[in-house]
Amino acid sequence: MTTLFTGYRLGDLTLPNRVVMAPMTRVRAAAGGLATPSMAAYYAQRATAGLIVSEGVQPSAIGQSNPGTPGLHTDEQVAAWRPATEAVHANGGRIFAQIMHGGRVSHPDTTGMQPVGPSAVPAVGDVFTPTGPQAAPMPRALTTAEVPEHARSYAEAARRAIDAGFDGVELHGANGYLISQFLSSNANLRDDHYAGSIANRIRFAVEAATATVEAVGAARTGIRLSPGGTFWGVAESDVPELYTALLAELARLEVAYVHLEATTDEEVLLTLRRAWPGTLVINPVVPMGPKQTGRDDADHWLALGADLISFGRAFIANPDLVERLRGGLPIAPVDESTYYQGGDNGYLTYPAHQYEA
């Protein structure tokens, strides 16, 4: 019988369990988008996960969404990440880098540049900047000639990720960021072959995935998707058809996994499970929603055919989450005020479970 603690073969990796640490922005990077010793310690503390997916890492300067986030587009950034990947491996873990291009979800005060997107349609809501939240600005619509360059940026960052010691990469195709913007029917109002029909709306995602597979191999390439999600004001028409078509192209590429968020109803997710022949990672709850993923959610989705289960916020306050889940131990609550404040408090200060003598 498959359980959360049954091993799993993912590409060339043997995972000791089916618990995935989901990517979570923590804004602890140093100036220049450099990973820090504290970041190395943070990920190493959680190395008992079957797989860690890092926080979103920008593939280019213009791809940065939030201040205080790390990059993988300079040699200095590659060098800064190596102690983190080495620390995870020394503790017996495996780690993928999530490659995240923010697209229109950015601000000139963060990058010094006007954000870009598929169309000149601003995101809905306030974006983070070095001086606090500000209204999302108007992005510049990418020209048709520019789009392939941004698709290739995922692959270029993936090459750097492997050089930095990561075991693979996850393309961030979810939550209203650039790939998601191209999939959208209201953020993507282009009149070229990247918009309109389903085949056109998935084109950018497929080009990014194809370039990444060519750069680092299919076994080292995953992608995260949020079907039907409405983050940052995106909307998607024809959700089952859109994602079934995208999964068919990803299956042709034989990517290592698809990581789905529960941003649509269960029946649609089950339809996508049936459409996807490869490894499926499920995040059973809506990111940043009222509920955290628990053991019952994991068991439910394993029974429905998911291969791996991702946990987000529970990993923040529980570096030993795998052991707590295995032993039915209490899951410590997280202090939300420390999500993004910087420093080691609320980052390295959560202890492992203390057994009573």
Q: Distance (Å, rounded) from C-alpha 130 to C-alpha 68? A: 8
Amino acid at 332: A
Q: Distance (Å, rounded) from C-alpha 207 to C-alpha 188? A: 16
DSSP state of 138: P
Amino acid at 217: G
Classified as helix, coil or strand, 145 is coil
Radius of gyration of the chain (CA): 19
Residues paired with residue 71 on neighbouring β-strands, in sequence order: 58
177 is catalytic: yes
Q: Distance (Å, rounded) from C-alpha 341 to C-alpha 28? A: 8
Structure tokens at 203: 């084109």
Query: Which member of 42, 177, 194, 257 is catalytic?
Result: 177
Nearest to 178 by CA among 118, 129, 137: 118
Nearest to 96 by CA among 49, 51, 135, 137: 51
Annotated active-site positions, please? 177
